[in-house]
Chains A and B, each alone.
Chain A
Amino acid sequence: MSDALHAETIKITSGNGDQIEAYSARSLDETPRGGVVVIHHLPGYDSQTKEIARTFAANGYNAVVPNLYWRQAPGASPDDAAATARAQGGIPDEQLVSDVAGAADYLKGLANSNGKVGTIGYCSGGRQSFLAAVSLPIDAAVDCYGAFVTGTLPEGFPLKVTTLVDRTPNLSCPLLGLFGNEDAHPSPAEVDELEAALQANGKAYEFHRYDNAGHAFFSVNRPAYRPEAANDGWERIFAFYGKHLAS
C-alpha cells in the first residue's frame, strides 16, 4: 500500500445544495478504498483535526473534514468561527446531517472510492457521528466520547440539541465507541445506557473504555491527552474500518 497522499482545502456540496469549505486528504493509490468523514470537535475546524484526516489518508483511506461552521463564519480563523458558532448555541442537527451527507457523496465520487464511507467524530462530533449514522446510510461509525447521545441534558443547557438514544433503531451501521472512564459526559453510566440500547435493538457495536482517561484523550495538543488510550484507540479504529470499509 502506498502512503502517498494529497491534502488541500476544497469546496463540497452539502446535502442541501450549499457550497461549504472542507479539508480533503486523499490517498494517491488508485486501488479502490473506503472513505472517512471526520467530524471536528467544538473548538472547530482546526489544524489538529486536519492532521487526523491526513493520518487516515496516510493509512490508505480518503478522508474529508467538512467545516461545520462555514455558514456561520465563512473564511474566519477556526477559533473565531468556533466562538461565533458557540455563541449561537452550536449548529442545528439538520445542518450537520446535510453536511455529512455532502461529504459522504464527495468521498463516494472519488475515482479510487470503493463506495463505502465511515464517520468519526470527537467530543460534540462523537454525538454527531452517531447522529449521522442514525440519519444516513453509513457503513461504519466511530463515536469518540460524544456527550448527550444518552443521559439527560442539564437544566438550562443552551445548546439546542436532544439526546439520540431513541433513534438507535435507525442506526444504519456498526458502531465503534471509545470512551474514557473518567469522563463526566459521557459518564460510564451514560455509556452503559447506550450499550443497553444497542443490545436491545440488536445493533452491531464494539466499545472500549479506558481507565486513567477522561474526555478528549485523543487531543494531542491538550492536557487531556492520554497516549496509552489514544494509541490503543487508533488501533481499534483502523481495525474497525479495515473490517467494515474494505472492498
Chain B
Amino acid sequence: MCTYITEKIAIEGSAKGASGWIKVTDGSIYLDHPVHAPFGHTLNIDFLAPALGPSGRVAVELSQDSARALVKAIQAVLDAAPAGLD
C-alpha cells in the first residue's frame, strides 16, 4: 500500500546530490514504496532544499533493518563524541 506515513523535520547542514553540494533545510522521513531499492517498502529519507524546487533533494531508501541499524549507529557516534564540540 501507499502508506504516506511521513515525519518532517527542520535540519541544518549540507548534502551532495547529482548537481553537487546543496544546503539542506528540511527532512522528510517516511516508510513507503522505494523507487530503486529492491524491497516492497523502505525507510526513505529525503534531505531537501525546497528553494531549489523538487530537484533539490538527496534521497536514500533503506531496508527497515538497515534503517534501524543506522539509527543505533548515529546515536552511538553522537553519544561517544566529546562534549562541547561545535
Contact = CB atoms under 8 A, between A and B. Distances in A.
Contacts, number: 68
- SS class, residues of chain B in contact with chain A: loop
Instruction: Using C-beta atoms within 8 Å of the partner chain, give the interface range for chain B.
Output: 20 to 34
A111 interface: no
B28 A87 contact: yes
B40 A223 contact: yes
Given A76-B55, A77-B55, A84-B54, A42 B2 contact: yes
A216 B1 CA distance: 8
Nearest to B26: A87
Contacts of B6: 86-87, 158
A215 B53 contact: no
Given A42-B32, A216-B40, A223-B40, A80 B55 contact: yes
Contacts of B78: none
Interface in A49-95: 72-73, 76-84, 86-87, 89-90
Interface in B27-86: 28, 30, 32-33, 35-36, 38-40, 46, 53-55, 57, 59
Given A185-B1, A223-B38, A43 B33 contact: yes
A224 interface: yes
Contact of A76 (B4, B30, B54): B54
A86 B55 CA distance: 14
Given A43-B35, A87-B8, A223-B39, A80 B54 contact: yes
A215 B1 contact: yes
A115 B35 CA distance: 36
Interface residues of A, number: 34
B54 A124 contact: no
A184 interface: yes
A209 B79 CA distance: 51
Nearest to B40: A224
A123 B3 CA distance: 11
A147 B28 CA distance: 23
- SS class, residues of chain A in contact with chain B: loop
A222 interface: yes
Interface string B4-39: 111010000000000000000000101011011011
Contacts of A89: 4
Contacts of A159: 2, 4
Given A90-B4, A158-B4, A215-B1, A42 B33 contact: yes
Contact of A86 (B1, B32, B38, B53): B32
Interface string A122-147: 01100000000000000000000001
A147 B1 contact: yes
> Which 7 interchain pairs have the tightest Cβ spacing?
A185-B1, A76-B54, A73-B54, A42-B2, A80-B54, A159-B4, A84-B54
Given A43-B35, A83-B54, A215-B40, 20 more contacts: A42-B33, A73-B53, A73-B54, A76-B55, A79-B36, A79-B59, A80-B54, A84-B54, A87-B6, A87-B28, A89-B4, A123-B1, A123-B2, A123-B33, A124-B2, A147-B1, A157-B4, A158-B4, A216-B33, A216-B40
